[in-house]
Amino acid sequence: MSRPYTITTAISYPNGRPHIGHAYEVVATDAIARFQRIMGRDVFFQTGTDEHGLKMAQAARGRDMEPRALADEMSGYFKQMNDILNISYDRFIRTSEPDHHRASQAIWEAMEASGDLYLGRYEGWYSVRDEAFYDEKELVEGEGGQKLSPQATPVEWTVEESWFFRLSAYQQKLLNLYNSQPDFIQPDSRRNEIMRFVEGGLSDLSISRTSFDWGVKVPGSEGHVMYVWVDALTNYLTGCGYPDDAERMARYWSEGGDITHIIGKDIVRFHAVYWPAFLMSAKLPLPRQVFGHGFLLNRGEKMSKSVGNVADPMELADRFGVDQLRYFLLSEVTFGNDGSYSADAIVARSNSDLANSFGNLAQRTLSFIAKNLDGRLPQPAAQDADTELLAAVRQAAGTFEQAMTDLAPSVAIEAWMKAVFACNAYIDAQAPWALRKTDPARMEAVLATLYDAIASLAIMIQPVIPASAAALLDQMGVAGDRRGYDVIGADWYAGLRADGFILSAPKPLFPRLELTEADA
């Protein structure tokens, strides 16, 4: 029995509506979660919204509403995005939920019991936009002498009473962690950045605020709310049953457990420095891996409200199709690097890979069977060419599985497309339409080989385009409990024929997309 698998996105800050970057992260995480389920794992997949902090309080004040009302409205948009994009989350968490407040206060008390918290006075540079404190040495100068964070966001000098976490005491422990577990931070470029940051020395971390009250109350400390990152990071524990459900914690957040955080590269520090330090202090298990993906750029430019190039993922899904958008996001970008998107790139990728290559392969094969054999499944009689094609599909499936295990969906899709191309080359070479008159038995053997290969391709690509793959497998009569990767290469086809399955005329899966003037 394989170990349970826990995977999370970062929780999104809902001071505005979701953009395509939010969609990219959750689609990639969903594909990995779906893949692990198909592999037979007990998966817990969590996403959600991070609703506290000064930024939310300010955004609510700017709209003349209470923070709770803003959180309710905006969190609703994020949940809607997840549902539209067919995200198979097991829990959509909101940090305003009572059980999350309980979990946050429990980890606070655990860190306090370890002697790692003390009350002091915070004086330093704070970025409201990042909800982060920065050392003087990290700042850069902007226009007019404005001091900016490393993320180019404005910082302001803040003075207030604060609780502090003894982060400085965890410098060597963190370096030991990174050295003993090289895969803890991935990709390697992020690991190297964090190693240099920690080696440069760690300052104790201010972890409470008194200048606003929209947040989790610090236990036993009147007027203090938790610094949003203590509260936000603890969401991962909340979903796993902390602090009261020991059985659930043992299942999804255990020592040596398979726990992966998928996050943007701009918040790796919080997840790879602060988070493991908090967990060590609270004497809780650590995640296995923190993976910092790159940014998604609009035609090569960073998205910005002021520039007006922020794309609504729900509009893109409506315009191009949910699976077409999912496929583009996962195939176009090497996971971990920055990538770019545009309407013409989405259309080009969908038409070439899905409509012309895979969709056309399935449509012409299944239509030929429905028309020329009245839907009866053809009789196999394997020759070398048939055996070679099915072996190529099996090989692609092995590469696909390894790549998805390694969090490399674009590599997985590349292997899948290689198998699709092999099938198209095979059907062109074997020409079943010509064999219909000259060698009907050979025609059936070719069609049987293609039927097997196409079902295998649909099974393989399920994590990426789940609705389309399911629709195709439904049409082909492949039962729901026969869609695991162990089916690829197995002799399921004979059983389907023996059951007398009749193929109906297939429905096209991927209509060709067209660009409009609005896409220019």
Burial label, 194 (beta-carbon count in 10 A; 0-12, 13-18, 19+): buried
Report if residue 307 sits inside a domain: no
Q: What is the predicted pLDDT for the residue at 53?
A: 83
Question: Which residue, chain included where needed, has tokens 């298990």?
Answer: 285
Report if residue 243 sits inside a domain: yes
Report if residue 305 sits inside a domain: no
**Lowest mean pLDDT across 16-20, 185-189, 240-244:** 16-20
Q: Which of 437, 484, 486 is nearest to 463 (CA)?
A: 484
Cα–Cα distance measured from residue 177 to residue 285, given in angstroms and rounded to the nearest whole number: 12
Report if residue 518 sits inside a domain: no
List the CATH number of the domain containing 366.
1.10.730.10
**283 and 386 part of one domain:** no
Cα–Cα distance measured from residue 332 to residue 113, given in angstroms and rounded to the nearest whole number: 48
DSSP letter for 335, please: B
Q: Reply yes or no on whether the pLDDT at 299 is more than 80.
A: no
Q: Which of 348, 277, 317, 355 is nearest to 114 (CA)?
A: 277
Q: Reply yes or no on whether the pLDDT at 11 is more than 80.
A: yes
Q: How many domains does the chain have?
A: 2
**271 and 174 part of one domain:** yes
Report if residue 148 sits inside a domain: no
**359 and 288 part of one domain:** no
Q: What is the predicted pLDDT for the residue at 237?
A: 98
Interior/surface letters 270-299, b for 16+ CB within 10 angstroms, e for the rest: bbbbbbbbbbbbbebbbbbbbbbbbbbbbe
Report if residue 133 sits inside a domain: no
Tell me the pLDDT band of 306, cut-offs 50, 70 and 90. Answer: low
- Taking CA atoms, 29 is separated from 16, 82, 263, 335, 407, in Å, by 22, 11, 9, 11, 9
List the CATH number of the domain containing 110.
3.40.50.620
pTM for the predicted model, two decimal places: 0.92
**263 and 402 part of one domain:** no
Domain boundaries, position 453: 352-499
**380 and 271 part of one domain:** no
Q: Which of 399, 184, 377 is nearest to 280 (CA)?
A: 184
Kind and range of the H or E element at 100?
A: helix 98-113
- Taking CA atoms, 11 is separated from 95, 99, 454, in Å, by 9, 16, 37
Report if residue 364 sits inside a domain: yes
**256 and 364 part of one domain:** no
Q: Return the structure tokens found at 242.
A: 């902390």
Cα–Cα distance measured from residue 230 to residue 208, given in angstroms and rounded to the nearest whole number: 9
Burial label, 146 (beta-carbon count in 10 A; 0-12, 13-18, 19+): exposed
- Taking each continuous run of H as one helix and of E as one strand, the counts in the chain are 21, 16
Cα–Cα distance measured from residue 264 to residue 385, given in angstroms and rounded to the nearest whole number: 45
Q: Return the structure tokens found at 468.
A: 């389309």
Q: Which of 4, 92, 10 is nearest to 43 (CA)?
A: 4
Cα–Cα distance measured from residue 339 to residue 331, given in angstroms and rounded to the nearest whole number: 10
Q: Reply yes or no on whether the pLDDT at 518 is more than 80.
A: no
**26 and 104 part of one domain:** yes
Degrees to nearest 5, angle at CA 487 with 485 and 489: 105
Phi and psi at residue 93, to the nearest 5°: -95, 145
Mean pLDDT of the chain: 93
Q: What is the predicted pLDDT for the residue at 122?
A: 81
Report if residue 93 sits inside a domain: yes
Cα–Cα distance measured from residue 23 to residue 27, given in angstroms and rounded to the nearest whole number: 6
Q: Reply yes or no on whether the pLDDT at 7 is more than 90.
A: yes
Question: Where a domain ends, among 245, 265, 293?
Answer: 293
Give the tens place of pLDDT for each residue, 18-57. Answer: 999 999 999 999 999 999 999 999 999 999 999 998 888 8
Q: Reply yes or no on whether the pLDDT at 309 is more than 70.
A: no
